[in-house]
Structure 1
Amino acid sequence: MLKPKGLRAYTTGLLVAFTLIFSSLFLAVGVLTAYIVEDTIIMRLVGAQVDQIEQSLAQGESPQLNAKQRLYTEAEDIPSAWQAIILKYPSGELFTDTEDHYHFQHLSTPSGDFAVLVVEVSEVLVVTESPRAFIIFVVVFAVMVLVAVGVALKIANRVTKPVLDLSTAVAQRALVTEPMPDLPFELKQLASNFEASFSKIEQMLQRERDFTTDVGHELKTPLTAFNNLLVIASGRPLSSAEVEQLGRINADLANTVEVLLALAREESLTKQPVNVMACIEQLAIDQPQVVAGEFSIALTGDRSVVIQGNPVLTKLLFLNVIQNAIRHADSPQLNIDIAADRIVLANSAASRKQLDFMAPGVRDETSTGVGQGLYLVRRIAEKLALRVELNLGNEQFEIVFHIN
């Protein structure tokens, strides 16, 4: 697997290698084409001279030859070094150890006799005999290769930059919470998927941290009370009041564990409309004390009010408030008023100390609970994005949930 920083070097190497290989092939094809074109032109020139000589012979005239042309009418007259090639092929090239270069072509005479024209063509060679032109070609080609390599480097940087930016953003995400960069093409969707995955992981880790903290804070007090009663029970039978207290502690533990698990689940993040009055009405008729007439709940307000939240957490929120009121209220009645921007739950109460009942473990000296009920209410409300306000005064114990 490539290291992130090696991707640019790897891509650059591939593009540069491709450019050099392609350029070398182009050079080879260009040089080969130049030789072929040069030979073709020379053969046509020689062919034109052959046509003139054949025309002169057909008219019975003696052909006019220049210093570069040799006409052999007898095979024996051909230099021995050339005989094998000339007698074997109708036309072609003759190479020598000197700078001279020859082309030959057989003639068609009126009498059908043997005749071949050999022409020295070194003066008309361009590719072979003009090193200056070849050097210019090579220099121009080298410049073009350098330009192509530069373009390849720019292309490699441009192609790999989004991937490297994404890799850097992913690596830094573990240290700093920053949004993913805006990337082009399919990388934008990939970055979005990374962003969603990181968000889920962060939420999961936060829920795990919250659960660990909550368990440490919220179960310590009830477990201590539970252990104290067990110590008492080992020495003597528990009184009816202590047995009742043990039952309340057990119920508080069960409720606390249920709330903590609900807060820790990923499903708690799923939101949907929840009708507040319908939810509270269902909770009210599920309370044995309400059914038995030992406690009453007066429910007023707008029946159409809904909040966006998880249905299970919403139910646990109001259930905890109702059960706290049933257990600890000075009077057996809870008044609930529902409006579009707030939900008010209140009951009459004697003057109480100004304590932060929303903090863990805080309870009135007259309370027989473990001081976790309203703290759990606050934790659930935070999860549901509801602002909680606790009002103590005028012989009222009032909790207000402000709907954002």
Structure 2
Amino acid sequence: MSKSIRHQLFAALAGFTVLLCLCYTGLALVIAYVTEDMLVQRLLEREAAAVSQRWRQHGELTPSGSDLITVYGGYLALPQAVRAQVPPSAPRGEVFTTTGRHYHVLALDHVAAGQPQRVYLLADVAPVLVVSRLAQEVGGVVAGMALALIALALLLAYWLARRLVRPLQRLAQEARQLAPGSAVHFSARDRPDEIGFLARRLETTFAELQAVLQREQAFTRDVSHELRTPLTLMHNTLALANAQPLGGQEQAQLQQSTDEMRATIEVLFALARAEQLPGELVELRGCIEQCLLRLLDDHPWDASLLILELPERLEVLGNGQLTMLLINNCLANALFHGGPACRISITFAQGCLSIVNTVPAGQPRRVQGFAHGQNLLLRLAQAMRWDIAFHPGEREYRVAIMVVQ
């Protein structure tokens, strides 16, 4: 493609150059011939004025004072070659012959013995023709110079075509060499012209396309990875339901798997749309309070076990939907691993939000889906440019979230 653009540009410049040279050459020839004819015609007119003046003074025709111009008293006196091309009624004419003679004829009307009479001035201008002689004598030099100038113009057109198309060729080559997932950078992005604008737009487009592909791959991987455990649990529970009715524990497991799948799907869709969600100021304390109210509605937990140490207003830079999902999942994980009797402490200091839940001594460690939850929480925080860290312990589990204020 890039070569065809260069060739087309070179062909356009070369064609324009050759056409311009031919047009100017033709125009120069036309001007030279017209100037030559006007000069000869002017000489005839001056001689006609002199003949008329002598006729008025002496009453007779006198020979011309120029050796190029001959005065003829009638049409029949003109040479046969002239009479063959110039009719009697023509006031002037130009005659070309096969013998190399070139004539200009001018008719002059006057009155003789009370009768109108027409005389003719015939100029044999072959000896004074300059253009044709110039073409014969220096035509080769002029043609050589013209060819040399055309060749120089073609070289200049080729150089201009390469110079003008080279940034586009480099841009196409860099775009062709882009690998999936690699950093997008075009060398022409700092140019102030249209090519620089195109390079910047291509960078943005490629970066957005790679981000979309990465989100699609992550969504596909997460759906396969995160939903497999609850789906397997639900499938096994329903398979056992054919042998015996579902008991309270089995129904609770189904409800728990359904809730886990719903929460996971909400997180996955939020992460898939994370690049389109605009950053905004979020009231973090309000989000935490809403999440706590939802936690009390969905889980049997005593609110007196909560320790809340937060500023009256706590604005952070993030996204409201992602923030709610992050806090909800952190609190749900705290109850999942600490049990309904755990104490939950939520504090904020120096840009760090800490969520700590106690773990009863001797309680078997519950790890179902826990590693998967950490991965999703980490991605939620990264989508808002936050940092999150998990600190497990024997008596308590702490999640530290570094927010952007």
Q: TM-score range by the shorter chain?
A: 0.7 to 0.9
Structure 2: distance between partners of 1:268 and 1:18: 50
| Deviation by residue 1:159-209 (Cα, 9 ceiling, x = unmatched) | 444444444444334555422322443444343333332222211111110
* 1:345 alignment partner in structure 2: 355
Q: 1:266 to 1:88 in 2, by over 3 A?
A: farther
Please show how residues 83-98 of structure 1 align to structure 2 within 5 Å: 83-84=83-84, 85=86, 87-98=88-99
Q: 1:66 to 1:282 in 2, by over 3 A?
A: closer
Q: Is the 8 A contact 1:351 1:393 kept in 2?
A: no
Please show how residues 284-363 of structure 1 align to structure 2 within 5 Å: 284-288=292-296, 294-295=302-303, 296-329=305-338, 331-350=341-360
* 2:373 alignment partner in structure 1: 373
Q: Which runs of 5+ in 2 are unaligned?
A: none
Structure 2: distance between partners of 1:268 and 1:386: 17
Structure 2: distance between partners of 1:332 and 1:266: 33
Q: State the secondary structure of the residue aligned to 1:98.
A: coil
Deviates more, 1:48-57 or 1:5-14: 48-57
Q: Which runs of 5+ in 1 are unaligned?
A: 353-363
Structure 2: distance between partners of 1:350 and 1:132: 116
Q: TM-score, normalised by structure 2?
A: 0.85
* 2:63 alignment partner in structure 1: 63
Structure 2: distance between partners of 1:252 and 1:17: 72
RMSD across aligned positions (CA): 2.9
Q: Which residue identity lines up with residue 386 of structure 1 in the other structure?
A: W
Sequence identity, in percent?
A: 27
Structure 1: distance between partners of 2:323 and 2:276: 10
Q: 1:396 to 1:15 in 2, by over 3 A?
A: same
* 1:217 alignment partner in structure 2: 225
* 1:115 alignment partner in structure 2: 119
Q: State the secondary structure of the residue aligned to 2:40.
A: helix
* 2:266 alignment partner in structure 1: 258
**Is the counterpart of residue 193 in structure 1 residue 201 in structure 2?**
yes
Q: Which residue identity lines up with residue 177 of structure 2 in the other structure?
A: Q
Q: 1:272 to 1:318 in 2, by over 3 A?
A: same
Q: 1:121 to 1:231 in 2, by over 3 A?
A: same
| Deviation by residue 1:10-67 (Cα, 9 ceiling, x = unmatched) | 2221222222223222222221121111111111123223333333333327435454
Q: 1:318 to 1:57 in 2, by over 3 A?
A: same
Q: Which residue identity lines up with residue 31 of structure 2 in the other structure?
A: T
* 1:44 alignment partner in structure 2: 42
Q: Is the 8 A contact 2:64 2:70 kept in 1?
A: no
* 1:400 alignment partner in structure 2: 400
Deviates more, 1:57-66 or 1:335-344: 57-66
Q: State the secondary structure of the residue aligned to 1:338.
A: strand
Q: 1:389 to 1:338 in 2, by over 3 A?
A: same
Deviates more, 1:386-395 or 1:206-215: 386-395
Q: 1:10 to 1:290 in 2, by over 3 A?
A: closer
Q: TM-score, normalised by structure 1?
A: 0.85
